[in-house]
Structure 1
Amino acid sequence: MLCAVGFSARSLVQSIRRANIDVVAIDHFCDQDLCALADDVFRIPSWCTSPCSAPTRTGNSPLLEVDRQMAAWVAKNENQPLPSVAAGGVENFPALVEVLQRHGPFLGPPPELMRDLRSVETWKILAAESGLRFPTTVASHEWDRIEGRLQAGRWLLKPENGAGGLGIQLLTGPAPSVTERRLPCDDRMGDQPAFLQEFIPGRPLGVVLIVHGPSQGGGKGTVPAATAVGAAPEGCGGLRSLATDSGDSSGSGPTDGEAVQAGSPYSTVLGVTESWAAADWPGPRPFIYRGSWGPIPLPRNAMDRLLRLGDLLYQRFGVLGMMGADVVLDPAGDMWLLELNPRWTAGMEVLSDTGCNPVPWHLAAWAPRLVGCDSLASRLRHVPPSPTSTPGGLAAKAVVYAPAQVHVDQNAAAGLAALPGDQVCDLPRPLSAGHPITFDAGHPLCTVKATIRTTEDLVGSRRGAAADRSAGNPQDGMVGLDGFRARILQRLRTTAAQVLQLLGTTV
């Protein structure tokens, strides 16, 4: 059994289930589908501040309740240690990780290392040594040396303990003074220190790295760097698998200078996703996470730099398992590292939906350290690092944010649950018939998803592209990457419209 922990743990829990592993969850939302997927769920009501509070002997702080719940789960699991895996938000609360570690191995960096991996100084050094570019970034304690010299419109103000793009602001006026080193209180992130980072225009990408160390180098579970272009474990083919299935690779897969995956002796680039921009999908804030799609190919030299980053994470820090890297590919083709997230990221679900599930890879990297977890270790012997249950292809997801205040009662919740589960997830769950959930404008309602997996879908994308061209929309009708992107984005929009209509609202 595993314990999935995060502000929103549903996507991680679903991927653990796909690996046929029992799972319990700790999260904030306790959505309908999370409760159906997990064996048990514990909710942390106030994620922003309460997890930082140390447990007390006299009060029922959230951390004390988590401690008790973990102990109960361990007892139900034949008193075997309960390993935990982190999703978004956990990296900001070391006290929560310390509680989890009392009951079993935490399959991620310990709190001290987590802080290092989330520091501006670490990102800058790793970028330089891996050949990636790094934007000028100034921590809050360094603002005095650049005060008065920042150009408005070219700088982002980012929370030090942010997640999902919450709280990020583009400076459009004079830069904040030295005394304004904290972002104003956000309804979900709280008042917290911030850092400045140069704004880099380009394609926002999410890189999924698996850091496995030399024990798997060149062996099962890795993609050797010398393999054919676009080669990947079965079920992880992305654009290459679609091109191969159709018998026509013209403009639809990686070129000879590109790859969907790559591997080295210490790490594997499992896949790369592209995040939706504000022009693609509505959202309450300019830089909030809207969703993503992929896997997409990258130039081979970019893959080599990302592999170097993964190797450094192992060699310098001993990192193992899943690592998310936020990067930007600028118009000149340069790749910029923005930050690292040492845990399950939202974009990893996109890879999992194509059959390339990061969870078995993560567990394989940690397997030698699962001391005492006999039932899980036994299960892992039957879980291949590269699942083959689905044919690959492309997948996408998008967060549906409330365009206005929305009330979800039990009837509306049942209507959402009746929609196809592979298209709508993170379903809100009213507490009772007389107590609907109220979502203020800008809050996430649910997630919509779409896939392109078959030759029929591929042909449909090309027919749609031809129709777009004949209608005088050449940009939307580009065959290849842009054609797939437009097609899958339209599917998301159609499903989102169904959701909002069911809830009695529109964009």
Structure 2
Amino acid sequence: MMQPPDHPTTSASGLPEQVILVGASVRSAAESAVLAGFDVMGVDLFGDLDTRSCCRTFCPVDHWCEMTADRAAQWIQRFRHVSRSPLAAADGQTRPTGLVVVGDLQRMSDVLARMPDCVQVVNDPFPYHTSPLPAELDRAKVASPLGRDLLGKSVDLCSRDQGGSVRAPESHLDTADFDSVRSGGRWLVKEYRSAGGLGVRWLTDDDLAGDDLAGTNHRGRQQNRSMYFQRWIPGRCYGATYLSNGSQVSLLGVCQTVFTRNGDRPFVYAGSYGPVAVSPTQQASLLNLGERVVANTGMRGLLNIDFVLDRDGVMWVLEINPRWSASSELIERQLAGDRGESEERGESEERGESEDRGSLFRVMHTALRGASTDNQPLATGSYQRAAPYYKRIVYSRAKGRFDRLRLDREVAGVPLKWELKDIPSAETEIQPGEPIATIIIDIHGSSRFVWQNAKRLFAAVQKAVV
């Protein structure tokens, strides 16, 4: 299993070798950071076994947000001194500890507010929406200060360049203009500060008729400014991953997004499939969009643009996450030497042990400093691969605890090359509808009956909650 490095990465540049990772789940970014030689402190919602195993220090989000400022400062100082990274820069000044946001959180503002002065946030912590933002809303709590203005401008300019093949869905802050909503099509209610599709649901007739929508009065005027309304675009949803140093932009790959329904939430994130092949025309459109966005915003590091591709080939841009995303680990695996051919894993090999591959976190770290990534591995995308990975989050159907030994018995003989990630401890109480663990299947290295065996694998994970 991954372990904190004996000899952390050293650098004479502005960003430190220590890093604090914050997000709903920091596991994949932490694994990549450790692979690059960083000392990691993780702050996330789950604290899974494999997350904790590669972090020098770990703190659950809820525990962190309950701390006083003094207590949080003591926690950071302990990490800074336990870590074997140097605390002094070349000029003798105290070196800051970098904080990289690698996933969205409803409580992100609370987490960042408790960070002491010795912590430097090195990337943008909030997503950019293509929807409008209400003027009275504190933008720092719902989106980047640059907000919709520059993102909307980027999409509009790209749409002109591509003859209308890149657009943004129609969105409204409130339903006072309900003639547009009633004119046809289906509509979504979206929360600004939500993650993984948990803040998205259908707008219903009951919402239009009365007071059923929280924060909306009988005339349809929205009072709750934490949400907006967006026309649903039928099609397949994808995430395009870019690398930017603020001027240069590379398209690293595109992954298809997989959803599942959870109660009245129809678009809960369940995984990613890819990288998938894209046509030269789509590649050109995506590169143009990325260049426009970076030119208007100056974004650095990894960027993920979520979009829907409709049956006419139009790309509908939903939002941009200026950070490590859920599909980044698939991009990393694909681009690490283009992976090449590998032998089937023997039965005695321990699942979950990381492969010897390049670190995408290292490349992102270089780009965040504004440095060129021309000589960095993993900095160039491959757009025509036909042997992607399948990452699937398995959600529980029952209440219980995860029994790893039972899973091992259930999956014995399954002819797939796969890894178990985000592994809960034996003491974790799992509720129905909550994530159990993540499965990553190497489609390239598995049998031709991959989908039948994948279903068997997912069912085995669910049966292991007892």
Normalising by structure 2, we get a TM-score of 0.71
Which residue number corresponds to residue 223 of structure 1? none
| 1:211 and 2:244 aligned | yes
Q: Distance in 1 between matches of 2:209 and 2:408?
A: 49
Q: Distance in 1 between matches of 2:430 and 2:443?
A: 31
Q: Distance in 1 between matches of 2:459 and 2:280?
A: 38
Question: Which of 114, 124, 131 is the matching residue for 2:152?
Answer: 124
| 1:13 and 2:18 aligned | no
User: How far has the Cα of 1:36 moved from its partner?
Assistant: 1.1
Q: Distance in 2 between matches of 1:67 and 1:93?
A: 17
Amino acid in the other structure paired with 1:501? K
Q: Distance in 1 between matches of 2:106 and 2:249?
A: 21
After superposition, what is the alpha-carbon deviation per residue over 1:233-268, rounded to whole angstroms, capped at 9, x for unaligned?
Answer: xxxxxxxxxxxxxxxxxxxxxxxxxxxxxxxxx211
Change over 3 Å in CA distance of 1:383–1:123 after alignment to 2: closer
Change over 3 Å in CA distance of 1:316–1:101 after alignment to 2: farther
Change over 3 Å in CA distance of 1:124–1:178 after alignment to 2: farther
Where 1:271 maps in the other structure, the secondary structure is: strand
CA contact (8 A) 1:152 1:173 kept: no
Change over 3 Å in CA distance of 1:417–1:151 after alignment to 2: farther
Amino acid in the other structure paired with 2:258? W
User: How far has the Cα of 1:443 moved from its partner?
Assistant: 0.9
Question: Which of 322, 328, 334 is the matching residue for 2:314?
Answer: 334
Which runs of structure 2 are paired with 1:5-404 in the superposition (5 Å)?
Answer: 5-45=22-62, 51=65, 61=67, 65-76=71-82, 77-79=85-87, 80-90=95-105, 93-100=108-115, 102-109=117-124, 115-116=143-144, 119-131=147-159, 132-139=166-173, 142-146=174-178, 149-150=181-182, 154-176=186-208, 182=214, 193-214=226-247, 266-278=248-260, 283-284=262-263, 285-356=265-336, 357-368=359-370, 384-386=377-379, 393-404=387-398
Change over 3 Å in CA distance of 1:127–1:298 after alignment to 2: same
Where 1:340 maps in the other structure, the secondary structure is: strand
Q: Distance in 2 between matches of 1:205 and 1:138?
A: 23
After superposition, what is the alpha-carbon deviation per residue over 1:296-351, rounded to whole angstroms, capped at 9, x for unaligned?
Answer: 12222222222222222322222101111110110111111011112221121221
Which residue number corresponds to residue 455 of structure 2? 493
Which residue number corresponds to residue 131 of structure 2? none
Q: Distance in 2 between matches of 1:395 and 1:117?
A: 35
Q: Distance in 2 between matches of 1:121 and 1:179?
A: 31
User: How far has the Cα of 1:117 moved from its partner?
Assistant: 6.6
User: How far has the Cα of 1:204 moved from its partner?
Assistant: 0.7
Where 1:206 maps in the other structure, the secondary structure is: strand
Q: Which runs of 5+ in 1 are unaligned?
A: 52-59, 185-190, 215-265, 370-379, 431-435, 465-486
Aligned residues: 381
Which residue number corresponds to residue 346 of structure 2? none
CA contact (8 A) 2:106 2:195 kept: no
Amino acid in the other structure paired with 1:276? V
Change over 3 Å in CA distance of 1:416–1:120 after alignment to 2: farther
CA contact (8 A) 2:245 2:300 kept: yes
Amino acid in the other structure paired with 1:126? S
Which residue number corresponds to residue 446 of structure 1? 437
Q: Distance in 2 between matches of 1:492 and 1:212?
A: 38
After superposition, what is the alpha-carbon deviation per residue over 1:411-438, rounded to whole angstroms, capped at 9, x for unaligned?
Answer: x2565699899521111124xxxxx432
CA contact (8 A) 2:250 2:380 kept: no
Q: Distance in 1 between matches of 2:326 and 2:215?
A: 24
CA contact (8 A) 1:138 1:196 kept: yes
Q: Which runs of 5+ in 2 are unaligned?
A: 1-17, 88-94, 127-138, 160-165, 217-223, 337-358
Where 2:441 maps in the other structure, the secondary structure is: strand
Q: Which deviates more from structure 2 when the two are superposed, residues 11-20 or residues 86-95?
A: 86-95
Where 2:176 maps in the other structure, the secondary structure is: helix
After superposition, what is the alpha-carbon deviation per residue over 1:137-189, rounded to whole angstroms, capped at 9, x for unaligned?
Answer: 112xx4323368435761011111111000211123254479777589xxxxx
After superposition, what is the alpha-carbon deviation per residue over 1:26-75, rounded to whole angstroms, capped at 9, x for unaligned?
Answer: 112111111112122111227xxx85xxxxxxxx5366544432232223
CA contact (8 A) 1:153 1:173 kept: no
Q: Distance in 2 between matches of 1:10 and 1:353?
A: 15
Q: How large is the Cα RMSD of the aligned pairs?
A: 3.5
Amino acid in the other structure paired with 2:463? Q
Change over 3 Å in CA distance of 1:91–1:381 after alignment to 2: farther
CA contact (8 A) 1:413 1:428 kept: no
After superposition, what is the alpha-carbon deviation per residue over 1:335-394, rounded to whole angstroms, capped at 9, x for unaligned?
Answer: 11011112221121221233445323311212358xxxxxxxxxx999744599xxx842
User: How far has the Cα of 1:88 moved from its partner?
Assistant: 1.7
CA contact (8 A) 1:97 1:110 kept: no
CA contact (8 A) 2:73 2:115 kept: yes
Q: Distance in 1 between matches of 2:107 and 2:295?
A: 24
Q: Distance in 2 between matches of 1:501 and 1:95?
A: 36
Where 2:156 maps in the other structure, the secondary structure is: helix
Q: Distance in 1 between matches of 2:369 and 2:99?
A: 13
Question: Which of 421, 426, 441 is the matching residue for 1:425?
Answer: 421
